[in-house]
Amino acid sequence: MRNIMRKSIVVLTAFVVLTGWVIRDNVFANPPADLYDQVWRLINTKFVDQTDNGQDWARWRHKYDDKIKTNADAYIAINTMIASLNDPYTRFLDPKEFADETSSIKGSLKGIGIQIGVKDGKLMVISPIEDTPAEKAGLKADDEILEIDGVSTKGITVDKAADKIRGKEGTNVTLLVKRANVEPKSYTITRAEIEIKSISQKVPTDIKVPDEFCYIRLSSFISRNAAQEFGDILTNSKDKKGYIIDLRSNPGGLLTNAIYISDMFLNGGTIVSTVDRDGYKETQRAANTAYTDKPVVILINKGSASASEIFSGAMKDNNRAVIIGEQSFGKGLVQEINKLPFDAGVNITIQKYLTPSGTDINKKGITPDIVVPLTEENVKNKDDVQLKKAIEILTKMTSGESVAKG
């Protein structure tokens, strides 16, 4: 297998909130007041919105000078300051939260196995992780979490919600969930150690994928080994006529994984562009060394977000794949993780990203070439109409037939 790690890791996609990450290490032995000031300075120079949500950011710098005596004081002041940005993805992480975030990147955590995000002020399920307590309990993408252990989630931040949902293995958490057109329902779920699996070739239903096709289920881009494992599958499937790549309920992961995997299918062309607060645009382009030129179908749904949208957007805009399913989540922001003193951290929104056609998909998502809804009745009957359509379309593509889109 060729060396897919030739590009430096620039952006990561957040596991909990599904946004992009760039890691910076700023470690100084500063007292609590300096911790607050360091966060202020980082946001002042990096936050994507130069107006800082239309406010005078300078007013915050010395607002708590005489009040910050301990780390706990600094944490409260920092969270208050950050809240003024009205950006759920710029967030401070205390040592426990930062450790949890680091753990999730490494591929394991203790919780129920759920991806969450704030959308239009509501705490939403982006997707449950495959084969976890959350999935087994019946939680689904686009569920709204109204309460956590009896406490309303109104106004809650993603990190605070994640902290409440996570916990010691074997303990329970109760979520009050509202699903579209259904009365709110309470779910009591037992926490477990969650192993974050990225790639599987196991078909999630009883539908038979023809032997001449290679089915790849990519549940997240978070594992540092995901691109390598994906490349190995392509290398070992050269006899296949085409590929079905299932990104449904994939909340994202390492953006570099999305770039590497896109590169495996593209001979040149743009993969993704990022734009910072100064309007500077940086474009990632594919090399002319694709693994395969065989037909590709990609499955997405409303739980497909961030890095999965970058990959599917790159494949769609380069006319390299047919996208099937439902409108994706719409996560087009990039966060930078800054490591702070006292083992804390702060994630700062520093960029937005664009698909190769220059489309900003934030809060909009990727529109499939062929829209195929998956109804509650389909799910109940284990009738995966989206996968069936993927097989139908790939069969046409590999037979040289034209495929009508739209």
Based on the residue annotation, tell me whether 63 is a catalytic residue of this protein: no
Residue tagged active-site, from 52, 317, 369, 384: 317
Q: Which two tokens stand for residue 399?
A: 């037979």
The beta-carbon contacts of 286-293 under 8 Å, at least 24 apart in sequence, are 286/262, 286/314, 286/318, 287/263, 289/2, 289/263, 290/263, 290/264, 290/265, 290/266, 291/231, 291/234, 291/235, 291/264, 291/265, 292/234, 292/238, 292/243, 292/264, 292/265, 293/267
Catalytic residue among 302, 331, 352, 389: 331
Among the listed residues 304, 306, 308, 328, the single catalytic one is 306
276 is catalytic: no
Q: Indicate if 317 belongs to the active site.
A: yes
Looking at beta carbons, which pairs linking 308-311 to residues 24 or more positions away fall under 8 Å?
Answer: 308/218, 308/221, 308/247, 308/250, 308/251, 308/252, 308/258, 309/252, 309/361, 309/365, 309/366, 310/255, 310/258, 310/259, 310/262, 310/271, 310/272, 310/353, 310/355, 311/221, 311/247, 311/258, 311/261, 311/262
Q: What residues are annotated to the active site?
A: 306, 317, 331
